[in-house]
Structures are given as structure tokens and as C-alpha cells.
Amino acid sequence: MNMFSKPVWMKLSAGAGSKIVKYFLGCILLGLFCAPTGLLANDAIPKQVSLVVNGKRLIASNVRFSRFDELNLRAQEEILEQAEGKGVIVVITNQRIIGYGLFSGWRDLKREAGENVESLLVEDFAVFITTDSRLLNFNGESGLWGKRDRRIER
């Protein structure tokens, strides 16, 4: 009989101690299929950014790249709300919405006249904002803002 006629695992499991071999192979397969899901667990992403507000300066501490990125607020600009994720920061002012991504740095978006922020959610590398006129999201990895007009049904 040709040595290549059966897969190796069948040859191993056919002899003495086949229960041990099957158990061992099962553990390997289980590890291969289940281990990647552990990367998606909340604790798998360490906190890598932090915000420091120093007067009219926003300073993002970026631990991943061992740097500090600064952004100056404009005249008459005031911070209304701020939040941090593990790889993203968002600062909402009376003039704009500012996102900071671990890989992208500072990116801002002008606020519309009279726009009110209804909700803010920050998690890992993502920012989700609902205003009375728009739905917004910010990706801290790419540095891109997503925008969509909000149609309010009456």
C-alpha cells in the first residue's frame, strides 16, 4: 500500500493509542478555529491614546508611536464634550467635531449651524455620533469621517 494513499491523520489515528491522537488533533483544530476569536475580545486591544487639554491646546498622547500630537483650538472655540476609546479620541466643540485616530492623527468636521449632539458612543477605534440633523462616524484607523443626513419622520 502506498504511504500517500491516506492522509497522515488517518494513519496516526488507526493504530494503538488512537484516542490520544484524536484528542490531540482535536485540540489543535479547536485552537486553530477558536484562537482568532480571542483577538476580537475587548481586552485584546490595549489602550493606546489619551487626551490632555492644556488651555486652548488639545494634546493626544499616542503610546503606539511614542509621540504627542497637538491641535490648537480656534478663537472663541469651547469644548462641549470629549471621549476616548482604546485607539480613538473625539472632542466636540461649539464650532467643530474633532477626531483623533491612533494611525491617522487629528481630523475635524465642521458643525452645522444650530446642530445639537444627541448621542456619542466611542469604542476601540470607532466613534458614533447622532445629531439632530446628521449621523456621523469616525474610523480611528483610516481617519475618515462618514456622514449621512438624518431624515426625521414626523
pLDDT higher than threshold 70 for residue 144: yes
Question: Mean pLDDT across the stretch 81-99?
Answer: 98
CATH assignment, 74-149: 2.40.10
pLDDT given at position 151: 78
pLDDT given at position 2: 57
Q: What are the residue boundaries of the structural domains of the chain, listed by start?
A: 8-43, 74-149
- Rounded to 5 degrees, φ, ψ at 126 are -125, 145
Better-predicted residue by pLDDT, 36 or 102: 102
What's the pLDDT band for 38 if we cut at 50, 70, 90?
Answer: very low
pLDDT higher than threshold 70 for residue 33: no
Q: Which of 138, 125, 144 is nearest to 46 (CA)?
A: 125
Percentage, residues of the chain above pLDDT 70: 70
pTM above 0.85, yes or no: no
